[in-house]
Amino acid sequence: MLLAQVSDLHVCAPGRTLGGGVDTPAMARACVQALLALRPAPQALLLSGDLVDAGGPAEYAHLQRLLQPLPWPLYPVAGNHDERGALREAFGARMGPHSALMPDFLQYAADLGPLRLLVLDTVVPQRPHGALCARRLAWLGERLREDDRPVLIALHHPPFATGIAHMDAMGLLEGAEALEDLVRRHPRVQALLCGHVHRSIQTRFGGAVASVCPSPAHQIALNLLGQGEDGFTLEPPGFQLHLWHAQRLVSHTVPIGDHGGTRPFA
Ligand SMILES: [Fe+2]
Ligand SMILES: [Fe+2]
């Protein structure tokens, strides 16, 4: 099983760019081309939140057009820049086969063959930070008890502090400890796949791997422990590939752009 993860596209309406001149639609187009060029091709695509920048219907319509060439089942996650209702409506028929969809949160389960994907919704409307309330955690507990396949959990806000203070201040501020307890009690959880921080970051969480995927657009500047400046950078954009291979999840970060292709060893 090969799952691609793209996070934080921040697509804006046609003819616009983000503040600072970041042309997110053009960068999304480059990402789609890079995904289509992959051999082997992924079998599904996880979109781990902040799919658009301001959450309006024109942005979601634009996102749909940009993603249209991708032939795989799409699994969207709500981020703080998304509008949950508009996101659900925009993806409707385009969402991969799923079950157990919560009526008022974008939480659902998906069958990835040997793996199960459980998508969590950490959105607090109109706020940048994330939360998992008792209902959303109870849903996860039920899903973890009903099937014994290895599990991937997807959520936008990383449930751990990254060391980048201004992002940690808008991290998963409610429910992270309870989530870690649940993960610890269910060792079949292989990984928690997150977005929000626009960099490749990994740690251990409840005995599983927790990781953040870089953005195909702008990256968050590496300001560790306050020894740098807050802001974004135009470091190489990227996405991740998660390969279920030899009973393990192996994750690769792939930079987007023309780097000259593969050259033979001398
Ligand atoms: Fe983002
Ligand atoms: Fe975010």
User: 95: domain CATH number?
Assistant: 3.60.21.10
Ligand nearest to the CA of 156: 2
Angle between helices 84-91 and 57-67 (to 10 degrees): 40
d(CA 146, ligand 2 centre) in Å: 30
Is position 64 within any domain? yes
Q: Is residue 261 part of a domain?
A: no
pLDDT tens-digit series, residues 16-48: 999 888 999 999 999 999 999 999 999 999 999
Ligand found nearest the CA of 167: 2
Look at residue 262 and tell me if it is in a domain.
no
Q: If you average pLDDT over residues 57-83, what whole number do you get?
A: 97
Asked whether the CA dihedral 78, 84, 87, 88 is positive or negative, the reply is: positive
Task: State the pLDDT at residue 93.
Answer: 82
pLDDT band for position 92 (cuts 50, 70, 90): confident
Q: Give the number of whichever ligand sits closest to the CA of residue 80.
A: 2
What pLDDT does 19 receive?
A: 85
Residue found by looking up tokens 């014994």 in the block: 148
Residue type for position 115? L
Cα(129) to ligand 2 centroid in Å equals 8
Q: What range does the domain containing 130 cover?
A: 2-255
Residue at 263 is within a domain = no
**Residue 34 is assigned to a structural domain of this protein:** yes
Q: Does the pLDDT value for residue 51 go beyond 90?
A: yes
Dihedrals phi, psi of 18, to nearest 5 degrees: -75, 165
Short-list 112, 107, 35, CA closest to 66: 35
How many domains does the chain contain in total? 1
Question: What is the greatest pairwise CA distance in the chain?
Answer: 58
- Which sign does the torsion angle of CA 255, 257, 258, 259 carry? negative
Give a yes or no: residue 260 inside a domain: no
The token pair at 207 is 């005995």
Task: Average the pLDDT over 160-170 and give the result.
Answer: 98
Answer whether residue 95 is part of any domain: yes
Q: What is the mean pLDDT of residues 104-125?
A: 97
Average pLDDT of the chain, as a whole number: 97
**Is this model's pTM higher than 0.95 or not?**
yes
Our CA angle for 249, 253, 256, nearest 5°, is: 145
